[in-house]
């Protein structure tokens, strides 16, 4: 008999990337990542960021209830999703070393010679004020990202109601590939366990720390399955599917 358990992606990856962070949830919805819990000094919360610098935020700007809830679970923003029946983790590709060639891909010329033409990127691929039509599916992708310790993201409806949009800030090539893996693994699990609720496409926009585009993707269920199967390396998946 099936039993509802903790969302598979979280269980599958939490042990792989276990390092301590403390997440501050602000009242405006933003998330701030610290190395450990803040100290209250006067009206401010003082803490060390993940990059090792000191920062302070007015205590009044912190959503205390949400912050305690997130950190009390020990897995980022992971929560129980009882609507997903889960038997075993979806296998993930064997990690590969970061490929320096990704840093040399030029806008508009990322495809290899002979590769079939990819869809032309839609100018409207961007964050929208409207939410994706299924809040639990949206939450599942958030959990998938945070199980990989990717916290700087936001989600919305995509260019079509059946499309989910995800924007992720990435720092360098390893984190770029990690973001692709997180999205593909979550998408594949949803297709297997709740196919009628999975997005038709996932539109993914990655930005580097300076706010410049690091890649735009429109990923299908078949694309996600190919990635998760290990038939294509993360770096080759990037090259074959990036549409900028």
Domains of the chain: 22-73 (2.30.30), 100-241 (no CATH)
Closest by CA position to 73, among listed 6, 28, 8: 6
DSSP-assigned states of every residue in 110-173 = -SPTTPPPPPPPPTT-S--SSPPS-HHHHHHHHHHHHHTT--SEEEEE-SSTTEEEEEEE--HH
pLDDT score for 242: 92
Please report, rounded to a whole number, the percentage of residues in the chain having pLDDT higher than 90. Answer: 39
Against a cut of 0.75, is the pTM above it?
Answer: no
Q: Is 218 exposed, middle or buried (0-12, 13-18, 19+ CB in 10 A)?
A: buried
- The pLDDT tens digits of the residues spanning 52-79 come to 788 889 999 999 988 888 787 654 433 4
pLDDT at 18 exceeding the cut of 90: no
Residue 163 exposure: Cα atoms within 13 Å on the Cβ side: 19
Q: List, in sequence order, every residue forming a beta bridge with 18; answer none if it has no partner.
A: none
Long-range Cβ contacts of 210-213 (<8 Å, 24+ apart): 213/244
């Amino acid at each position: 008999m099936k039993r509802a358990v903790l969302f598979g992606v979280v269980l599958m990856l939490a042990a792989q990337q276990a390092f301590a962070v403390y997440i501050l949830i602000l009242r405006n919805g933003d998330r701030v990542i610290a190395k450990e819990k803040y100290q209250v000094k006067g009206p401010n919360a003082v803490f060390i960021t993940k990059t090792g610098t000191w920062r302070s935020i007015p205590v009044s700007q912190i959503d205390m209830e949400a912050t305690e809830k997130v950190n009390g679970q020990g897995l980022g923003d992971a929560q129980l999703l009882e609507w997903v029946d889960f038997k075993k983790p979806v296998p993930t590709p064997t990690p590969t070393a970061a490929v320096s060639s990704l840093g040399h891909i030029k806008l508009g010329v990322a495809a290899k010679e002979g590769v079939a033409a990819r869809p032309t990127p839609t100018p409207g691929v961007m964050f929208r004020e409207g939410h994706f039509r299924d809040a639990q599916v949206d939450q599942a992708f958030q959990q998938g990202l945070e199980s990989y310790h990717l916290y700087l993201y936001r989600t919305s409806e995509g260019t079509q109601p059946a499309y989910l949009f995800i924007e992720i800030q990435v720092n360098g090539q390893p984190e770029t590939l990690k973001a692709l893996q997180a999205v593909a693994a979550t998408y594949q699990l949803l297709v297997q366990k709740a196919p009628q609720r999975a997005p038709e496409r996932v539109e993914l926009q990655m930005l580097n720390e300076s706010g410049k585009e690091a890649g735009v993707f429109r990923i299908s269920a078949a694309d996600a399955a190919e990635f998760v199967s290990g038939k294509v390396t993360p770096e080759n998946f990037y090259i074959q599917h990036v549409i900028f």
